[in-house]
């Protein structure tokens, strides 16, 4: 649902920006209205055929070349037209990159479940008496880079990751996807250490997966955050946001140790 809202907001921003640029051209630079429409078409074509990395370079180079040609060079058009020509393509391309990003996120079969996780966590923590509640956050390291390399393969990998984790858990364990490569597990089972179980059984299978990038197969890595909630620290983690913040800090500790 979050991806839908973000996609909608960026799409509306795109429409508003293009309308604003056309209005500015109509009142201050009518001679470049056609060029403005061509910039929009070119930006749209670019996001359809180029990868995120190439789009980033296109954005940088287009602005740099625009500065050189329109400002450093000799031009015979009004300053208002120069300014609009300079900012139009980079602005539209940047917004379209965001629209494309969230559109591809929406296409994934694995969608954000944070609202469900928050609701169930509060229910579990309020019903908890003397029993413990174990929580594990499994994070796909550098997932944003893999998304830039191949968004469709990234979405396929999310499905495989979710399937592997779900197959390893017991019936009473709860699994949720929290976006950005984060999966959280909540369990009332106190017979085993959920952290050790994940390290020895789940992460081992996950790291056997390979990402099919443009340059061949690439290994993927995962990091864990772990917390046991009992009668001693229950009051400290009444809020779901406090739990997630703590688990993500554990991931940061893993990064420091790893590197």
Domain count of the fold of the chain:
2
Specify whether 122 is located in the same domain as 241.
yes
Specify whether 88 is located in the same domain as 126.
no
| CA 117 to chain centroid | 18
Q: Which domain holds residue 99?
A: 2-106
pLDDT for 74: 55
Specify whether 99 is located in the same domain as 124.
no
Specify whether 168 is located in the same domain as 64.
no
Query: By the 8 A CB rule, do 212 and 150 touch?
Result: yes
Looking at 20-24, 30-34, 44-48, which range is the least confident one?
Answer: 30-34
pLDDT for 86: 85
Q: What CATH number has the domain bearing residue 191?
A: 3.30.70.270
Q: Which of 52, 71, 106 is the last residue of a domain?
A: 106
Q: Which of 106, 126, 155 is the last residue of a domain?
A: 106
Over 80: is that where the pLDDT of 73 sits?
no
Of the spans 66-70, 85-89, 99-103, 104-108, which averages the highest pLDDT? 99-103
Specify whether 131 is located in the same domain as 228.
yes
pLDDT for 62: 87
Specify whether 198 is located in the same domain as 139.
yes
pLDDT for 212: 87
pLDDT tens per residue, range 25-44 = 988 888 888 989 999 999 99
Q: Residues 131-154: what's their mean pLDDT?
A: 91
Alpha-carbon distance 4 to 148, whole Å?
19
Q: Which of 43, 71, 106 is the last residue of a domain?
A: 106
Specify whether 174 is located in the same domain as 68.
no
Specify whether 244 is located in the same domain as 119.
yes
pLDDT tens per residue, range 159-193 = 999 999 999 998 889 999 998 999 999 998 878 89
Specify whether 181 is located in the same domain as 238.
yes
Specify whether 135 is located in the same domain as 217.
yes
Specify whether 47 is located in the same domain as 158.
no
Specify whether 69 is located in the same domain as 130.
no
- pLDDT classification of 72: cutoffs 50, 70, 90: low
């Amino acid at each position: 649902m979050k991806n839908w809202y973000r996609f909608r907001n960026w799409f509306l921003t795109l429409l508003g920006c293009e309308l604003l640029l056309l209005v500015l051209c109509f009142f201050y630079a009518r001679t470049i209205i056609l060029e403005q429409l061509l910039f929009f078409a070119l930006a749209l074509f670019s996001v359809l055929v180029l990868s995120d990395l190439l789009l980033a370079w296109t954005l940088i180079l287009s602005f740099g070349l625009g500065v050189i040609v329109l400002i450093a060079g000799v031009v015979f058009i009004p300053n208002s037209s120069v300014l609009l020509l300079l900012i139009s393509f980079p602005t539209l391309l940047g917004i379209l990159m965001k629209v494309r990003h969230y559109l591809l996120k929406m296409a994934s079969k694995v969608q954000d479940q944070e609202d469900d996780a928050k609701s169930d966590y509060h229910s579990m923590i309020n019903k908890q008496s003397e029993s413990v509640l174990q929580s594990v956050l499994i994070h796909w390291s550098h997932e944003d880079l893999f998304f830039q390399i191949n968004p469709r393969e990234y979405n396929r990998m999310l499905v495989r990751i979710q399937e592997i984790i779900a197959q390893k858990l017991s019936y009473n364990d709860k699994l949720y996807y929290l976006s950005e490569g984060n999966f959280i597990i909540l369990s009332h089972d106190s017979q085993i250490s959920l952290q050790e179980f994940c390290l020895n059984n789940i992460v081992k299978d996950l790291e056997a997966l390979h990402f099919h990038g443009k340059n061949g197969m690439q290994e993927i890595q995962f990091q864990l955050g772990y917390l046991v909630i009992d009668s001693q620290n229950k009051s400290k983690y009444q809020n779901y946001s406090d739990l997630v913040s703590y688990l993500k800090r554990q991931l940061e500790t893993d990064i420091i140790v790893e590197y």
